[in-house]
Structure 1
Amino acid sequence: MAGLKCSASLALFLALSLVSFSLIAACTDNCDIKVPPPPPAVGTCPMDTLKLGVCTDVLEGLLNVTLGKQPGMPCCGLLRRLVDLEAAVCLCTALRANVLGIRHNLPVSLSLLLNYCGKKVPAGFICK
């Protein structure tokens, strides 16, 4: 009798597994599964953003693309010890406060500076 209950339970388990697998396999591209967007990246800047005034030469060099002129490295040296999110927050703060002293498009300038210094704009990060 115990063997019959075990066989019935195993058969039920296999049947439910087969139904579940069939439903998952049938759902390929047209499923209405909503993936929530990543939460906005929030962080703080662990340094004085006024120090980022040395990034002026880098940003002007990247925006004006002067041939034969290598932008200075002090900017990247300041960002080197920061993780991507911290670097993005610091540069965003400096750009918004116009510490760099030039007119700019925030997302483009931020992305250019971060990429130049080997950093990435974190997913979901918005510099407003």
Structure 2
Amino acid sequence: MASRAVASIALLLSLNVLFFNMVSAATCPIDALKLKACADVLGIIKIPPNQQCCSLLGNLVALEAGACLCTAIKANVLGLNLNVPLDLSLYLNRCGKKVPQGFKCP
């Protein structure tokens, strides 16, 4: 009987870990190549946000938007050398989003 309880607990813990990782992993639901429209956001601070960039990120929650920008930065789609934590925050802020607390580029 005890071995059955241990097996059940092990199964539940395994499923818990599996589902937790699936929920916490952010993915980009849009084509990262489209984010090339975001390349000039950092260079032009005194004008309104880049509408093409923000419209791409607009329908995404901050976690997804961050994941998309991280993907674009890592693939160098933007053609810029960026300081990821700071510049990611600037990109999202320009489009009215905030970097989720504790978010790190995957």
Partner of residue 50 from structure 1, selected from 33, 46, 49: 33
Q: Which residue of 1 aligns with 2:21?
A: none
1:87 matched to 2:65: yes
Identity of aligned residues (%): 57
Aligned equivalents of 1:74, 1:59: Cα separation in 2: 14
Alignment check: 8 A CA contact 1:57 1:71 kept: no
Q: Cα offset for 1:84?
A: 0.7
Matches within 5 A, 1:88-127: 88-127=66-105
Work out which of the two has the higher radius of gyration on C-alpha atoms and give 1 or 2: 1
* Aligned residue-pair number: 84
Q: Deviation above 6 Å: which 4+ runs of structure 1?
A: none
Aligned equivalents of 1:72, 1:123: Cα separation in 2: 24
Alignment check: 8 A CA contact 2:49 2:94 kept: no
Structure 1: gaps (5+ residues): 1-40
Q: Provide the TM-score with structure 2 as the length reference.
A: 0.71
Alignment check: 8 A CA contact 2:70 2:105 kept: yes
Alignment check: 8 A CA contact 1:84 1:119 kept: yes
Structure 2: gaps (5+ residues): 1-23
